[in-house]
Homo-oligomer: A and B are copies of this chain.
Amino acid sequence: MDAALLYSLNLIGVFVFALTGALAASRKQLDIVGFAFLASITGVGGGTLRDVILGATPVFWITQPAPLVLCVATAAVVYFLAPFVEYRYRLLLWADAVGISGYCVMGASRALDAGASPFSAVVMGVVTATFGGIIRDIVAGEPSVILRKEIYVTATVAGATLFVLAILFGAPFWPAALLGAISAFIVRAGALAFGWTLPIYRSRPGRAFPPR
């Protein structure tokens, strides 16, 4: 049953990332196939990179079509319903927040299962959570979400770290996973709602960047 639950949670992650891909397609005014394409590569992109890096090939969407069907269905719904949604970019950001919260834990968990060191597992969680969005932004020609000033990657670092630490301290899977995912979501939600930031790097006052 736990495997079934985990599988369902994975599909939720695929769904919310597919949603952000379809919303990006609506900003680019693509046709419905463009919606499906961008939804699919965003929905399964992070998990595909995770499987490839860990050597878990063929990757998760090859033998079972469910994640892809979900992506395409999500794209179709967004294509027809998005005109009635008032704040699509806000919706994209919040869906993305749900997605990264789940995926930073799932990426770290899969890495631990594959024998990764704790530190590597945290990085794997961060990579899994962020690369779907990075691929979406690159292909859609949008500025990458990780270059935004408010906290983003930090949320996935926090979530993956808390999950891995909890597992190391002997916690069972589900409490650890919930701790990680909820923490990541709170951090990212704070960034979205209140503009939370970490101090950004500043060069010395009065110094211009060297010319390229």
| Residue numbers in B under 8 Å from A82 (CB-CB) | 201, 203
| Pairwise interchain contact B147-A62, C-beta atoms closer than 8 A | no
Instruction: State the oligomeric state as a number of copies.
Output: 3
**A18-32 interface (Cβ within 8 A of B):** 25-32
**Per-residue B-contact encoding for A166-185, CB less than 8 Å = 1, 0 else:** 00000000000000000000
Over the window 56-67 of chain A, the binary record of Cβ atoms lying under 8 Å from chain B Cβ atoms (1 yes, 0 no) is 011101111100
Chain A: interface residue total (CB-CB under 8 A): 77
Does B117 contact A62, Cβ atoms closer than 8 Å?
yes
A58 touches B115 (CB 8 A): yes
A interface, CB within 8 angstroms of B = 25-37, 40-41, 48, 52-55, 57-59, 61-65, 68-69, 79, 82-84, 86-90, 111, 114-120, 123-124, 126-127, 130, 134, 138-141, 143-144, 146-147, 151, 153-154, 157, 197-204, 207, 209-210, 212
